[in-house]
Structure 1
Amino acid sequence: MRAITKDKKSAILREQFIPDHVFFYIQKGGIRFFDGDQNYPFHEGQCGIALKNRLAKFSLLDSIDEFEPIIICFEEAFLKDFLQKHPRAIAANPSKNAFINVAPTMLIDEFIRSLKPYHKDVMELDEAFEALKHEELLLILLRNQPELANLLFDFGIPEKINLEAFMNRNFTFNVSLQRFSYMTGRSLSAFKRDFKAIFNETPSRWLVQRRLEEAFFLLQKKNRKPSEIYLELGFETLAHFSTSFKKRFGLNPTALIEKNT
């Protein structure tokens, strides 16, 4: 668990799976999260919580050069210890959203300012005070929004869900099949078996084809550029995207654009 600031895109754009609940406060700039269903913009002075076991993409808001968040992860071990020290009734209340807005308050603002004396290196908290500051923050959050307890203290694993709907919503996320299987409440072997029964194709092949179909639509109907879409569709490099696109449709992405103009 740590509080850090980052001013480099690459430092925050890599992670697409959220393994622990994460509190974030935007000190400078702004960021937009996308969970496969909707966008969540956060601007300077705003804060929120990213819920664990979710997929998300991150992009800095346009025309913003500097970006400095404070990020604090609430790991499961810490949350279980906290619950033993501060018992409370918990009612399971799963959220469809991956991000929760946290209402700004004077207590949160004062907490953010209180972190400065305990920072070391790249805004990492001094280990001697880390657990205390995390506990302080969680007490503040639960005082302001008690309903957060039903989300933060849910220690269950993902339940088995509709695989077809999940994959059609999240096919652009470039994560492992093991991650997809876990998030849909299946073992890897059960995930592959169910996937074949639904889509009549292997997961890897289906993901590539589905991403290419979406790319064709974006290029032809939305006038997007290859350089704008390859990352958001789950391709790691523009070269890989272009090669796969030509193999599937018989022409380069740029050729399709020129053909439409």
Structure 2
Amino acid sequence: MKFNNLQSCHLGPEISPEQFIPEHFFLFLLKGSMVAYDGNKHYQIQPGDYCIARKNHLVRYTKYKDEGHFEKVIITFDEAFLKKFLERHFYTAETADNSDSFIFINEDDLVKNFVHSLEPYYNGTEQLDDYFVDIKREELLMILLKNNPDLKDIFFNFSIPHKIDLEHFMNQNYKFNISLERFAFLTGRSLSTFKRDFKLIFNMAPGKWLIKKRLQEAYFLLDKEHQKPSDIYVDLGFEDLSHFSFAFKKEFGVSPSELRG
């Protein structure tokens, strides 16, 4: 159920399959559990956990239902809302020391009571209008900043990613199924500069390199780790099994099932 048309607060059966987090959001897990992976670290999220998912991070989710249910509350802190908040409240952001994609929030009475106050809206007995959504978002943000002052360095840092080591980043994140525009943005480049720098480093266009790199990893997982094609294609950035199988056979001359068999 969505709380409003802006989708700043909602309850639903799924986390977005998008592997790029475009805005910060507060997550409270009600039922089920999940594991998230950002290329560096795995995050275990259990029922009752509170955390902040950070914008401009790449993350893959594996969700586990509890008796058929996976339910959560998500409240988005988009940049426009955060800038509007700063017009009324003074905070100065510094460079954040923490690079984690998920920041876990310790349970306290203020956070617990806030989430409890949303229960009529996420169980469907009440509707939350647009104006009240922003009031509730501001209330939560003030609670989080009161108990976790360092969050200001995360929420109020509006800078775009700086130019980083392209070779290291791509070798670490090639499995994420995002657009070249996203890869360019996260490495601090325009799309044209990204393509130019990529060709200089890898001597290959980025789209072709991504397919080749993913297929090489697939070959290893099938041949040496004896995994099933159906278990690996999504984690390697392929949208469906048939596309993966076609690309694999085109690259290696055998289908994934033939190699494994």
Give the TM-score of the pair, scaled to structure 2.
0.92
The equivalent residue for 2:222 is 219
- In the TM superposition, residue 195 of structure 1 has moved relative to its aligned partner by 0.2
Distance 1:3 1:63 in 2: 22
How high is the sequence identity, in percent, across the aligned residues? 46
Q: Does the CA-based 8 Å contact 2:12-2:72 persist in structure 1? A: yes
Equivalent residue, structure 2, for 1:239: 242
What residue in structure 1 maps to residue 212 of structure 2?
209
Q: 1:93: which partner in 2? A: 96
Within 5 Å, give how 1:26-105 maps onto structure 2.
26-61=29-64, 65-93=68-96, 95-105=98-108
Matched, 1:169 2:172: yes
User: In terms of mean alpha carbon deviation, does 57-66 or 147-156 score higher?
Assistant: 57-66
With over 3 angstroms needed to count, the CA separation of the structure-2 counterparts of 1:207 and 1:64, relative to structure 1, is farther
Change (3 A) 1:13 1:58: farther
Q: Name the residue aligned to 1:128.
A: 131
Change in 2 beyond 3 A, CA 1:112/1:177: same
Instruction: Give CA deviations for 1:191-213 in whole Å, capped at 9, x if unaligned.
Output: 00000010000000000000001
1:96 alignment partner, SS class: coil
Partner of 1:159, secondary structure, is coil
Residue 115 in structure 1 maps to residue 122 in structure 2: no
Q: Per-residue deviation at 1:256?
A: 1.2
Query: Is 2:141 the counterpart of 1:138?
Result: yes
Give the CA deviation at 1:118: 4.4
Question: CA 1:26 to 1:239, structure 2 compared with 1: closer, same or farther past 3 Å?
Answer: same
CA 1:122–1:191: 2 relative to 1, 3 Å: farther
> RMSD of aligned C-alpha atoms?
1.9
CA distance in structure 2 between the aligned counterparts of 1:32 and 1:105, rounded to whole angstroms:
23
CA deviation after TM superposition for structure 1 residue 124, in Å:
7.0
Specify the code of the residue in structure 1 equivalent to 2:255: N
Unaligned runs of 5+ in 1: none
Tell me, in whole angstroms, the C-alpha distance in 2 between the residues paired with 1:167 and 1:161: 11
- TM-score normalised by length of structure 1: 0.92
Q: Retained in 2: the 8 A contact 1:54–1:98?
A: yes
Aligned residues: 255
Moved over 2 A (4+): 61-65, 116-126
Q: Cα offset for 1:106?
A: 1.5
SS state at 2:92 partner: coil
SS at match of 2:87: helix
Q: How far apart are 1:104 and its partner, in Å?
A: 1.3
d(CA) in 2 for partners of 1:51 and 1:123?
29
